[in-house]
Structure 1
Amino acid sequence: MVTAIGGIDPKVVPAGGCAAWPLPPGPTGARFARGVLRAVFGELRMPAVVAYDAAVALSELATNVHVHAYGGVVPACPPIAGLPELWAYVRWRVRPEVVFAVYDSAPWHGPVPDGRLRPPPYAEGGRGFEVVDALTAEYGGEWGMYRTRSRLGAGPVPGKAVYFTVPVPAGLVTPCACTARRAAEEIHALLAARGLGPLQLAIGYGMAVICVRAGMHVWVREGSISYRAPGLGVVRHSPYDRVEVVERIVRHCADLDAVPEDGRR
């Protein structure tokens, strides 16, 4: 699995990897995000009308980061890590979906936004998530926000990601198969890169187990990837869904780590 960092390299997305770019923390961020999306959708051979609508949704997320994470002001001395990031990858369901996510390290305040909650008619803003909600519903995708950790910079920084998905028409992407051993090694490396550990990896015949922390394990078999997290039971994924499994594990760990701070998940 390849991860692209920095320049636009859309080829890693249909190949099963996750691409991550620093997102300019100013008004140019939306334009940069649209350029990335067009490159990724071009590689996936997505229909032009879908690319146009998805670019509108992604522009809203990039603009929200500028307005809300930095108050509309580009920091004079930006931190070494924790600046906004743009992620793209394919998650493998019965119908594959391309995922776009915008990360920032701004504090988590209040409830998760819901595009169905409309701002007052006289409000000059606050409709960005409404737009994202409508556009993703149009194509049968989904969107949301969750706690996570950064991918770029000197080290992983806690923060949040807002994402949306767009289903990929049949026949446009083909999953990259690999052995259970290789898949487990990739998942292990991706989890370690996000600052989780110490991790324990045990590889047997046709199966591998990764112990992330107490009560949280990942089982990798030739035909599936499963994980267990506190309060969730066992969740099963496609054997190709390595990036999505890692992101979900990072999310669960971030939620658990936040409980002592605010008393809720």
Structure 2
Amino acid sequence: MPEDERGPAAARRLLQRTMDGLGADRDVIEDGKLAVSEIATNALRHGRAAGGPVTVPELWIWARTVPAPQLVVSVFDGARTELPRASSSGLLDEHGKGLGLVAEFTAAWGCDRTRSRAAEPVVRGKAVWFALPLPRTWPGRTLKVHPGTAAQCLLSCVTRRGFPGMRTSDGHGVSVLVLPGLNVWVHPRHFCWQDGPGRYLKRPLIDLQETVEHIVRRLDGIQVPGPALTVSGRERLDRG
């Protein structure tokens, strides 16, 4: 996005164009435009790491089917330490203005430490995101993804974010991505990886970009500890 006052307006235009193409309800589009304006404005005002270089904010939009058919809208900035968190006080400080509206008008929202997609070289920062319901007939819901294509796309997206990796395949249509401290299995219908002792996560192949974000956060967390935050909608929030 533009790194000046044009950024929030550009985010609203792009989101509306995307949601129009998906056949979203008018009320959902207006809620999304309000929410993206708030997080884009916060990225503009507070999204620069102290003493660090100017980081151009990035707007990311993708669809996911788990936990529900939703459109995820995320704004990345370079202020890695400025993470909002839940608070019992119900107040927002100067770094969190507008997040109450985001919580009120979206299905879920959160903030995660992650890495840029577009910057050269890769920038380490954070992404504030929210989710909106997708219409039942959204285009792409029945898309069939070839597992080999999914494996290669996942590897390309992860390596683009600064994590080396390699891909191996067997004769049964299963690929394994070998990444720093993590293996990801790509089966004919889903991605699978270990998310703790004895705990595995599965995501359908159609949720490629959602899987990319999970993996990048996991790999980034290995190097810079810090739990990701996920907050359901309509919850009062504050920054610590």
> Equivalent residue for 2:102?
132
Residue matched to 2:112? 146
Moved more, 217-226 or 166-175: 166-175
Q: 1:11 matched to which residue of 2?
A: none
Q: What residue number does 1:249 align with?
A: 215
What's the TM-score, normalizing by structure 2? 0.84
Helix, strand or coil at the partner of 2:85: coil
1:62 matches 2:51: no
CA, structure 1 residues 24+151, in 2 after alignment: closer, same or farther (shift >3 Å)? same
Matched, 1:92 2:56: no
Change (3 A) 1:217 1:154: same
Distance 2:94 2:163 in 1: 41
Q: CA deviation at 1:66?
A: 1.4
Tell me by how many angstroms 1:94 deviates. Answer: 6.0
1:189 aligned onto 2:162: no
- In structure 2, give the amino acid aligned to 1:177: K
In the TM superposition, what are the counterparts of 1:226-237 in structure 2 within 5 Å?
Answer: 226-230=192-196, 233-237=199-203
* CA distance, structure 2, for counterparts of residue 206 and residue 134 of structure 1: 44
Given that 1:103 and 1:161 are in contact with CA atoms closer than 8 Å, whether structure 2 keeps it comes out as yes
Q: Quick one: which of 62, 84, 91 aligns to 1:119? A: 91
Distance of 1:59 and 1:117 partners within structure 2: 25
Do the aligned partners of residues 232 and 155 (structure 1) sit closer, same or farther apart at CA in structure 2, a change above 3 Å counting?
farther
Query: Which blocks of at least 5 consecutive residues in structure 1 are unaligned?
Result: 1-22, 72-77
* Distance in structure 2 (CA, Å) of the matches to 1:144 and 1:184: 27
**Is contact 1:227-1:235 (8 Å) kept?**
yes
Distance in structure 2 (CA, Å) of the matches to 1:258 and 1:124: 26
Alignment partners' CA distance in 2, 1:26 and 1:175: 39
- Normalised to the residue count of structure 1, the TM-score between the two structures is 0.77
How many pairs are equivalent?
224
Query: Does the 8 Å contact 2:23/2:135 carry over to 1?
Result: no
Q: Deviations over 1:140-162 (max 9, x none)?
A: x2100001100012232110000
RMSD: 2.5
CA separation of 1:69 and 1:211: change in aligned 2, threshold 3 A: same
How far residue 202 of structure 1 moved from its aligned partner, in angstroms, is 0.8
Alignment partner, residue 32 of structure 1: 10
| Closer, same or farther: CA 241–116 of 1 in aligned 2, 3 Å | farther
CA distance in 1 between counterparts of 2:103 and 2:197 reads 28
Deviation at 1:126, TM superposition (A): 4.4
Cα deviation, residue 30, structure 1: 1.2
C-alpha spacing 1:116/1:98, structure 2 compared with 1 (3 Å): farther
CA displacement, residues 223-261 of structure 1 (integer Å, 9 cap, x when unaligned)? 2111124568310111211111111110111222113xx
- Per the alignment, in what secondary structure is the counterpart of residue 143 of structure 1? strand
Identity of aligned residues (%): 28
Unaligned runs of 5+ in 2: 228-240
The one-character-per-residue Cα deviations of 1:51-92 (angstroms, maximum 9, x if unpaired) are 011100111001111121259xxxxxx75xx32111111112
